[in-house]
Amino acid sequence: MRVTRNSIKMRTIICFAITLICVCILDTILSHNVEDELSTTHGFAHKCSFEQIYCYDDVQLPKPTVGLLYPRASETREVNSLDGVWELVRGNASDPLQGIREKWFGRSLRSTGREIIKVPVPASYNDLTVDQELRDHVGTVWYERHFFVPSSWNMSGTRTWIRFGSIHYACIAWINGQRAVKHSFGHLPFEVEIGRLVKYGQENRITIMVDNRLSNSTIPQGAVINESSDNGSVAVQTFTFDFFNYAGIHRSVQLYTTPAKYIKDIELKTQVNKQMGRIDYRLWIGNEQEQDVSKYINVKLLDRDRNVVTHQLNRNYHNGTLLIPNVKPWWPYLMHPEPGYMYTLEFQLMAENDLLLDSYQLPVGIRSLNWDNNSIYINGQPIYLRGFGKHEDSDIRGKGLDNALLTRDFSLLKWVGANAYRTSHYPYSEESMEFADEHGIMIIDECASVNTDLFQPELLQNHMSYLEQLIHRDRNHASVIAWSIANEPRTQKPEAKDYFGKLANYTRSIAQGRPLTAASNVDKPIKCMMSAFLDIIGFNRYNSWYHNPGRTDMIINPMFEEALSWRQLHQKPVIVFEYGADTLEGYHTLPTFIWSEEYQTTMLSKHFQAFDKLRKLKWFIGEFVWNFADFKTEQTYTRVGGNKKGVFTRNRQPKYSAYLLRQRYHMLASKLNNASLPTDLFNYIIDFGL
Ligand code: GCB
């Protein structure tokens, strides 16, 4: 909890409430039909009276997602990327839906006469240019590009799809002027079959309207208010979360093909028992209603060197089990000499005449995951999490996928000896999930509910739907060890109890063998209306920063006492999800002074003492520094160019504290898992024998 920011938060919350009604009325008048199109709820109607606004009886459970396998080329599939340079037109901030009324999607964006900006995809659009209005834009922007679809894809028996890794926040896409798809959550993929919309062997046009506005029912929440400026009334996006509201086409856009009858979806569950590995798989077949020509599936498990380890021919092509003697289990980094061991599971859907119908390869790490009231266990071993809260954030590209940055981040994570991170405060890219699998980095996978307040039924419906899409996307990743359902929701409010009770019940029913957690920041555990529904208790606490700034002598006891009181209340494993201090790189003070590199280092060291006292009690399972790297926030007088609590700079160079943290994390791995220490962990100082 940030004591110094309470007044800002109160003001924002009051604005939220007052302006909510205005925004709704204004939007209804302006754009009723289009808002219907962009709405994240589906014909939601609740019958509760005004006094009972938080009645969730009419909230419908989300429909299970089926499909969305990550596009991978195979003998039967092709993938063409639409990443590259697109054209962008900024919508009118005072009339966000003008482009829909005027049907900009029906012709080239150039013909609107508006300024065209060439922008890369994937990237956030905000920081690409020197235009402040584009950076701070509220409302819609329009993207367009032309592309070819190979004529070879125009065969009966081939389906053409388009898949978007993530667009923030809501969007509608048209192909050659015809509506293809709409989607409303940032950070999650969606796709649509487009064979009926494209011209094969000819040029096609794709137009996408992206709307970055957040409301009281979006995940995360926000409110658009109108404020007077020197140029008249302007729309301002308000929110309480502490990161920049980057927007745009954030992840790759891909065209791909599948055969008519194809492997539509795959679900895996893995276990390890002594030397024996086990994979239970379930397949969904697309177009099954057509005359049933499929006969069987060939399932092959390939090791890292592409040798076939196990092979199975299964006449039941909906589910099956593979047993793997002498399995190489998936282990977290520094818990085993060969961490992150990934196999490849190949499924071949075969026809009666032994012809190959479809083929898909899925990377798989084989491991067991269990938990009880004291710990989480991987392959039967209790784990201790050493890690970070992170952000997808970097200079210029914002939240745009950047494989170079991912490579650097994973290299730093391993250098510093971390074995885990939380995807604070939204799902990270599918590419990063593969990096995590391969490097043995454990993931607490968080949905985009940040600082959730105003717990109305529409929000719950979206929240459940968001978690459903997240769990569907990430369920097959060995690295995912828990689902985080929220960060710092206002759980001291009585209405949070029913809300989180319903949310946790639903999420547990689809949790794919992972525990539920969340990051709480209430000042006393007893006040939290959410934590009783969780399997792992997580909390955020900024002793010596928001609490008692400057006092590094007020860390060990409060941290110890707080963790203990969470434990005493719930008898569940406890983890600290956030602690930290803003630190200006290059600012040094002796004795330590707040914001200096020395202060951050001392603050970490004091926390280590509290964590070691807690570790002795056996139910304390991890420590996550806030944050891995500095990141951009909205403009406020509490942030100098963003949040500076990174142990690394925004440009991914170490601050002074990184060296201390590195010693701690590697020595924890050595103590708990017999990992060998890096030779450069300590610099040579003196030979005491001389
Ligand atoms: C928190 C939030 C995180 C902020 C952090 C801070 O509690 O979870 O999003 O960035 O505090 O530095 O204020």
For residue 311, the surrounding DSSP H or E stretch is strand 308-314
As a whole number of angstroms, the distance between CA 591 and CA 601 comes to 12
Q: Using CA of residue 220, residue 221, residue 224, residue 229, what is the dihedral sign?
A: negative
Q: Which of 41-55, 186-200, 416-430, 668-682 has the lowest mean pLDDT?
A: 41-55
Quote the ligand 1 centre to 215 CA distance (angstroms): 21
How would residue 317 be classed by pLDDT, with cut points 50, 70 and 90? confident
| pLDDT at residue number 352 | 85
Atom of ligand 1 nearest to the CA of 580: 12
State how far the alpha carbon of 298 is from the alpha carbons of 78, 292, 355, 359, 571, in Å.
20, 17, 11, 9, 46
Atom of ligand 1 nearest to the CA of 546: 13
| pLDDT at residue number 59 | 95
Residue 625 is classified by DSSP as E
Quote the ligand 1 centre to 654 CA distance (angstroms): 20
> Across the chain, what does the average pLDDT equal?
92
3-class DSSP assignment, residue 388? strand
pLDDT at 456 over 50: yes
Quote the ligand 1 centre to 393 CA distance (angstroms): 15
Which amino acid does the sequence have at 313? L
As a whole number of angstroms, the distance between CA 562 and CA 555 comes to 11
Q: Whose CA is nearest to atom 6 of ligand 1?
A: 242
Token pair of 74 as six digits: 């195979």
| pLDDT at residue number 440 | 98
* pLDDT tens digits, 509-543: 999 999 999 999 999 999 999 999 999 999 999 99
Is 352 exposed, middle or buried (CB count within 10 Å of its CB: 0-12, 13-18, 19+)? exposed
Choose among 380, 356, 359, 360: nearest CA to 370. 380
| pLDDT at residue number 156 | 86
Q: CA angle, corner 346, sides to 341 and 351, nearest 5?
A: 170
Q: Residues lining ligand 1, judged by CB closer than 6 Å? A: 2, 242, 425, 487-488, 521, 540, 578, 626, 643, 645
For residue 656, the surrounding DSSP H or E stretch is helix 656-673
| pLDDT at residue number 173 | 98
Which residues, at least 6 apart from 688, have a Cβ–Cβ distance to it below 8 Å? Answer: none
* pLDDT tens digits, 280-313: 999 999 986 666 667 899 999 999 999 999 999 9
Q: Whose CA is nearest to atom 2 of ligand 1?
A: 242
* pLDDT tens digits, 42-96: 333 333 444 445 789 999 999 999 999 999 999 999 999 999 999 999 999 999 9
Quote the ligand 1 centre to 367 CA distance (angstroms): 33
As a whole number of angstroms, the distance between CA 115 and CA 128 comes to 15
For residues 601-609, average pLDDT: 98
State how far the alpha carbon of 210 is from the alpha carbons of 88, 139, 367, 402, 620, in Å.
10, 8, 40, 20, 43
For residue 7, the surrounding DSSP H or E stretch is helix 6-38
Active site (catalytic) residues: 488
β-pairing, 158-164 vs 232-238, is: unpaired
For residues 450-469, average pLDDT: 96
Atom of ligand 1 nearest to the CA of 425: 9
Q: Do residues 622 and 575 touch, judged by C-beta distance below 8 A?
A: yes
Residue 217 is classified by DSSP as T
Q: Which residue has the tokens 């963003």?
A: 642
* pLDDT tens digits, 349-404: 999 889 999 999 999 999 999 999 999 999 999 999 999 999 999 999 999 999 99
Which residues, at least 6 apart from 569, have a Cβ–Cβ distance to it below 8 Å? Answer: 525, 526, 531
* pLDDT tens digits, 471-484: 999 999 999 999 99
| pLDDT at residue number 291 | 60
Q: CA angle, corner 171, sides to 170 and 176, nearest 5?
A: 175
As a whole number of angstroms, the distance between CA 255 and CA 161 comes to 6
Quote the ligand 1 centre to 540 CA distance (angstroms): 8
* pLDDT tens digits, 129-181: 999 999 999 999 999 999 999 999 999 889 999 999 999 999 999 999 999 99
Atom of ligand 1 nearest to the CA of 2: 13
3-class DSSP assignment, residue 414? helix
As a whole number of angstroms, the distance between CA 398 and CA 406 comes to 13
Candidates 5, 392, 578: which one to mutate for ligand 1, based on the most atoms within 8 Å of Cβ? 578
3-class DSSP assignment, residue 109? helix
As a whole number of angstroms, the distance between CA 464 and CA 497 comes to 15
